[in-house]
Every structure is written in C-alpha cells, then in structure tokens.
Structure 1
Amino acid sequence: MHTESLDPAKALERAASAFIELRPRLFGIAYRMLGSAAEAEDILQEVWLRWQNTDRATIENPSAFLATITTRLSINVAQSAHARRESYIGPWLPEPVDTSFDPALGAERGEALELALLLLLERLTPTERAAYVLREAFVYPYAQIAEILQLSQVNARQLVSRARKRLGAERREPIDKTEHRRLMKVFVAAAQTGDVAALEDLFAADVVSTSDGNGMRGAARFPLLGGDRVARFVAAYAPRFWSGADLTWVEVNGRAGVIVPRPNSAPTLLTIEGSPQGIHHVMWIVSPAKLDAFEQSRFRGRQQI
C-alpha cells in the first residue's frame, strides 16, 4: 500500500475493494451491536468516510482496522440508543433482516442473530455486548478483542464470560430451524382459524405477545402475557386479519417468518421464539420503517444472486 501517494485513483479503488470485501462482516458486527439495520448502515457510512481519510499506507491489517472502527462507533451509538428507545411508542423489537442469502450475516457462525437473543443482548452493557459479539459470532481471539476494546486480555475474557452467564441464565433452550419452521406453521394455521385451544396448546407457560408499531394504529401498546390472553388476542383478529391474505414465507434473522398483507394498511411481519416447551414469544413487526428496512434487506440479498 506504499504506492498510494503515487496513484490516488488506484489507491482509492484499492481502498474501496478492501471495504466492499469486508462489508458483510462489518455490517454484521454493527447490526448485532445495535439491533438496527438502519443504524448499522449509518455506522458503515462513517467507517467508509474514515477509511477514505486514513493514511492507509500505515495500516498493516485493514480487516482489523475496519473492525475496530466499526465496533467503537457501534459502542458509542449503543450508549445513546437506550434513551432514544424510551421515547419509542409501544414495545421495541430489533429491526429484522432477511438472512436467506447470508444465514450468518457476515459472521463465522450465526450466533447473536435471532431476534429473541438480540433482545437479550440489550440487557448487556455496550462493551459487554461488543465483547460477546466479537467472540461468539466472529470468533475473534481475545488478544484482538482486547485491542479493539482497549482492555487487557484478562478483562476481555471476563467481559465475555460475564455476558455468557447473563445470557445463559435467561436464554431459552434453542430449537433447530426445522422445528422452528414447523412450530411457526402450526401457529399460523391455528391463528388463521382462531382456534383458542390449539393456540394455548402451542404456548409455553410464560408466553408473551409483542407488537412493534411505534404508534401505528392497530399495534398493541403493551405486551400481552399468558397463554389464555395471548390465545384470545390472536383468535380475536382471525376473521379480519388473516381472511384472504396471500402469505409470504421469509427467513427472519435465521428463522422462519411470514409477511401478512393487510388491506388498506401496511403489512405485518410475524415470527416467534420457540423452545422444546413451546412458543415463548410471538413477535409482530408493524412499524413501517422496520418493514421497509426488511424489504431493502431482501432486495440486497436478491441482488447478490
């Protein structure tokens, strides 16, 4: 890279090539840190600007440099995200992404990608979240995590260990993608017919239904708790919500989901969190901004074919 000063055009082309190659990983880090594809895209715009304005001849490892900038910017944004979400109207859910064409979203493994786990990650400090994401999803060595977070290796290990323990205490026993899709299909069938008894049989004892609409009409402003309440809520909407709907099955954060069109209104994106005990969380995405972002992620995926 020492010839960059001699040929700025080629230097910029090389910089762009390196950035594009690493972009899926950088997006994956920022998205897992923030639970928002829109915020992750904003982070990447800033990373690209900094990369252009950096003396790249001094950078021996572009991948490490870009990952460091992405992580530190994401920590800064995450520190202010909580306050912004307090003004959100109704429950907040992570912004869903289509993973049909990139099941791990740039990571070496798909850890910290499911909506339910992204919600749990919100309970960690930004630095804990960064350490966990870098280690569990991207398998960074502790030495590099320590360098990125400007900590000792001992502290980096402690952060990851603490995050694992906190998440492990609250995380449901996972089911595989095949079982999740089966459970999702059975739920949709019961919801379409308004079968309260069948719905209750599907639900775990602590089931909750969350509608993320940011004030949209028809979106519940508070989570609903308990099998009986959630079943009756879902059944009550059966006649007008599902009638004649041409459902589109999609992959949402590595799991099955369905887009339900609604006459004279924005569609709804529906998915669930399941375990061997049944459905623990029914998640309804009604927010137009999040639905638009999901459609954009589907479009980007199709462009990669």
Structure 2
Amino acid sequence: MDDAETTDPATEAFVAHRNLLFTVAYEMLGSAADAEDVLQEVWLRWSGVDLDTVRDRRAFLVRVTTRQALTRLRTLRRRKESYVGPWLPEPLLTTPDVAEDVELADSVSMAMLLVLETLGPTERAVFVLREVFGLEYGEIAEAVEKTPAAVRQIAHRARAHVAARRPRGTVSPAESREALRAFQRAVETGDLRELLDLIAPDVVLLTDGGGVVRAALRPVVGTEAVLPVLLRIATARLEPVRVNGHPALAVHRDGLLDAVVALRLDDGLITGLYAVRNPEKLGRLERETAVSRERA
C-alpha cells in the first residue's frame, strides 16, 4: 500500500495510526519484520470493515493489531527454541525525538525488550498496552479476550515481573550519550583501566549471529571474559548511532556493517552488552523507523 494514497477514509485512518500500530506490534514481537507482517494482516482486515460500525477507529486497529501480534508471538516462541545462540531483538535506527521521550525510549530499548521476552504472550500484551500505551483495562480486555478483572490481575503480575528484571533507575539521554562516548573511546584506544571503570564485574555480553555469522553461542559473563571480545572490535570502525531510542555503536568492517552494539546501564555501570551480528536483523539500520506512543 502506498502511504501517499490517502484518499479514502479507511486508508487515512490506517496511515494516521500506523506508527502506533507498528510500535505495539514491535514491542510485542521484538522483530520489525514480523511487526510489518502483522500490519499487512491488520490492513487486510481493516480494508474489509464497514467503517460505519466502528465507534473508535484507533481502538479497533489496536485491538486487531494486538490479536494478530499474539498469534504471531506464539509462532515466534516456537521458532526461537531452535534459534542458534542467543536471540536478540531486531535493532531499529530511531529518530532523534524518541530519545527525548524517556518512557518510549525505555519501552523499546534492547534491555527492556529482552525483559519482555521473559513474559508469556498474554502477559506481554497486557503489560505493553497498559504500561506503555496507557490503555484502559476494558480496552485491553477486548484486545486479549479476557475479562477486565483478569486483565488487572495479569497486569499486576507482569508489572512485578518486569520491575524485578528491568534496568535499575532511569537513565537520561545525556547520561546514555556520555556512557557510550566513554565506552567507544576506551574500546578504540584499548584502555583497559577505563573499560574496567565503565563495566560492571558481572557484565553480560550477548551476541546474536543467528547461526549465519560467527558469534558466541552462550552468554559471555564477567569482565575477564568480556574484555578480550571488546578489544577485538577495536580494529573496526565504530560509528555512534541511535538504536531503539538509545545511543549505540555500529561496527563496520571492510566498509560493511558488521554488527550493532547496544548497552544496558545500571547504577552508572554497563551491565549488559547486546551485539547483533545476524545480517537478517540489520536491515533497519539503513533508514530511520518511526515509533510512537500516540495516546488517545
């Protein structure tokens, strides 16, 4: 569908809310490619709806998107069971304004998406719709086909689960940028002392090669194991980029994008490093992707 062709009401409504719908699907799936597939399914259903019967077009579209994403999420969970090595979300090159919306940036960060992976499908949908997009329990109940009372209970459990695993404290955009600059400088110069000052002793490095390119098949834990890996990328060209609302590094070798490295910060230290090398997941680094919380 050509976004420029917005002459009929159905297309206009879909285009108006498209960024929101993509963000809902992406936060539920952690995959831009799958989120786009969900939006195609949503459009096919939406284009056949009698608009006179739809009281709230935004709510209707969010409901259909949620249901389609839930169906795909259950399929993805089976696919991930056979994934080679650690699975990481598909990184997005995001627009500058995303970083300024701290709540949105937090919700699409690599660290948060990995926390959401530990929730069941319905719990994930309820958490995303309630905590990120601020939907009422009644709206969420329609989307996940549960009662409002059940949704409240699910939301409470999901909130507690996420709170125990999410990064500690809010990191400002300025703090994120400074941490990345210091990290890049230390890696490029091979300054072990500075790296040790920046990285938590129990830091965890996850590398996602998807069985396509070389990557560690298990998490790399602790500074002693992680530092040699970081020093090996010092020979590459490192470029600061905005990924999922946060500063990250694009690693280039021989003029080609080799990996994207995102950071998790806790109490001023880097506790997580997420390196996506799977070429199938790097396509969204060629252009910016718009994400939106677009409240009702």
Q: State TM-score, norm by structure 1.
A: 0.86
Check if 1:288 corresponds to 2:283.
Answer: no
The SS at the match of 1:283 is: strand
Which protein is bigger by CA-based radius of gyration? Answer: 1
Q: Distance in 2 between matches of 1:104 and 1:142?
A: 28
Equivalence map 1:127-276=2 (5 Å): 127-174=122-169, 175-238=171-234, 241-242=235-236, 245=237, 247-263=238-254, 266-276=257-267
2:29 aligned partner? 34
Name structure 2 gaps, 5 residues minimum: 291-296
Deviation at 1:117, TM superposition (A): 0.7
Check if 1:23 corresponds to 2:18.
Answer: yes
Q: Distance in 1 between matches of 2:263 and 2:96?
A: 21
Q: Is the 8 A contact 1:107 1:137 kept in 2?
A: no
Any idea what the Cα deviations from partners look like across 1:235-261, whole Å, max 9, x if unmatched? 2443xx33xx2x432211111012121
Q: C-alpha root-mean-square deviation of aligned residues, in Å?
A: 2.3
The SS at the match of 1:53 is: coil
Q: Distance in 1 between matches of 2:96 and 2:200?
A: 31
Q: Distance in 1 between matches of 2:219 and 2:136?
A: 39
The alpha-carbon distance between structure 1 residues 105 and 191, as it changes in their structure 2 partners (threshold 3 A), is: closer
Q: Is the 8 A contact 1:108 1:139 kept in 2?
A: no
Moved more, 106-115 or 146-155: 106-115
Q: Distance in 1 between matches of 2:195 and 2:270?
A: 10
Number of equivalenced pairs: 285
Moved more, 74-83 or 215-224: 215-224
1:3 aligned partner? none
Q: State TM-score, norm by structure 2.
A: 0.89
Check if 1:69 corresponds to 2:60.
Answer: no
Deviation at 1:13, TM superposition (A): 1.2
Indicate the structure whose relative CO is greater, using CA pairs within 8 Å and at least 6 residues apart.
Answer: 2
Q: Is the 8 A contact 1:24 1:106 kept in 2?
A: no
Q: Distance in 1 between matches of 2:224 and 2:34?
A: 37
Q: Is the 8 A contact 1:27 1:106 kept in 2?
A: no
User: Which of 90, 94, 108 is the equivalent residue of 2:89?
Assistant: 94
The SS at the match of 1:96 is: coil
The alpha-carbon distance between structure 1 residues 254 and 74, as it changes in their structure 2 partners (threshold 3 A), is: same
The alpha-carbon distance between structure 1 residues 277 and 110, as it changes in their structure 2 partners (threshold 3 A), is: closer
Identity %: 39
Any idea what the Cα deviations from partners look like across 1:8-63, whole Å, max 9, x if unmatched? xx997110000000101111100000001110000000000001112222112111
The alpha-carbon distance between structure 1 residues 168 and 107, as it changes in their structure 2 partners (threshold 3 A), is: closer
Find runs of 4+ consecutive structure 1 residues off by over 4 angstroms.
Answer: 104-111
Please tell me the residue identity of whatever aligns with 1:156.
V
Q: Distance in 2 between matches of 1:106 and 1:21?
A: 20
User: Which of 16, 41, 47 is the equivalent residue of 2:42?
Assistant: 47
Please tell me the residue identity of whatever aligns with 2:248.
G
The alpha-carbon distance between structure 1 residues 83 and 259, as it changes in their structure 2 partners (threshold 3 A), is: same
